[in-house]
Amino acid sequence: MKRVFELRFPTLVLFCLCTWPVGDASARVIPTWTYEDLFSKSDVVVIADPLATTDSGEESDLENPWKVRFVGVNTEVKIKYAIKGTEKNEKIVVTYYRLPDSTIIKNGPELAHISLTERTEASSTGKKSSGKPEYLLFLRKRKDGVYEPVSGLMDSSLSIRELTHGSRE
């Protein structure tokens, strides 16, 4: 009996020492959105260029575990290609949320960011501009005519995908 105790006690102590300093380990369950899901639940799927972005003045009133009032953003985009659905206007407004300035959230939402700044990429002949990014957007139309990400406002980056281009040399 004493021999068994001598073998198990160090193992138990080692286990306790290895697991004790582990801090708060939390995670948030995010639904899996396949391209098939995004496509089938969208009213429109487009490739678009961003034109202008403004805060909408809207704040989220959705209950959320972070106790943060998210800031509404409206981005006007120009449709280059319609993959699904029809939209009579070549320009539409997409709404989504962003974090308030200077706010950081642990295990926060997957919020989209649509950039208006030109991208530069390195090439063998030096840096060159690749222009403003294009976006693949999976959207549903709200009653007010504004579009929102089909994956929802809290995980909008799942529906708003920046397209990257390979080398254009």
What total of structural domains would you count in the chain?
Answer: 1
CATH number at residue 97: 2.40.50.120
**Helix H or strand E segment including 79:** strand 71-84
Give yes or no for residue 83 having a pLDDT over 80: yes
DSSP H or E segment with residue 38: helix 35-41
Nearest to 136, CA basis, from 56, 51, 77, 72: 77
Nearest to 117 by CA among 101, 102, 132, 137: 132
Q: Tell me which residue of 146, 162, 148, 7 sits closest to 70, measured CA to CA.
A: 148
Would 12 be classed as within a structural domain? no
pLDDT of residue 167: 47
Using the predicted structure, report yes or no on whether residue 163 has a pLDDT greater than 90: yes
Query: Are β-strands 134-141 and 160-163 bridged in parallel, bridged antiparallel, or unpaired?
Result: antiparallel
- Answer yes or no: is pLDDT of 168 > 60: no
Q: How far is CA 166 from CA 110, 118, 123, 132, 162, in A?
A: 25, 15, 11, 14, 13
Does residue 52 fall inside a structural domain?
yes
Measured over all CA atoms, what is the biggest interatomic distance in the chain, rounded to whole angstroms? 83
Question: Alpha carbon 99 to chain centroid distance?
Answer: 12
Mean pLDDT, rounded, for 66-73: 90
Q: Is 78 inside a domain boundary?
A: yes
Q: 92 near 79, Cβ under 8 Å?
A: yes
| Residue 65 resides in a domain | yes
Average confidence score pLDDT of the chain: 84
Q: Is the pTM of this model over 0.75?
A: yes
Establish if 13 belongs to a structural domain.
no
Q: Between 8 and 75, whose confidence is greater? A: 75
Q: Is residue 58 part of a domain?
A: yes
How many whole angstroms separate alpha carbon 140 and alpha carbon 84? 11
pLDDT in tens, 8-62: 666 666 665 665 555 555 667 788 999 999 999 999 999 999 999 999 988 887 7
Query: Is 127 part of a structural domain of the chain?
Result: yes
Cα–Cα distance, 45 to 29 (Å, whole number):
25
- Domain range for 76 is 29-163
DSSP code per residue over 146-160:
-EEETT-STTGGGTE
Q: At residue 129, does pLDDT exceed 70? A: no
What is the per-residue pLDDT for 5?
Answer: 47
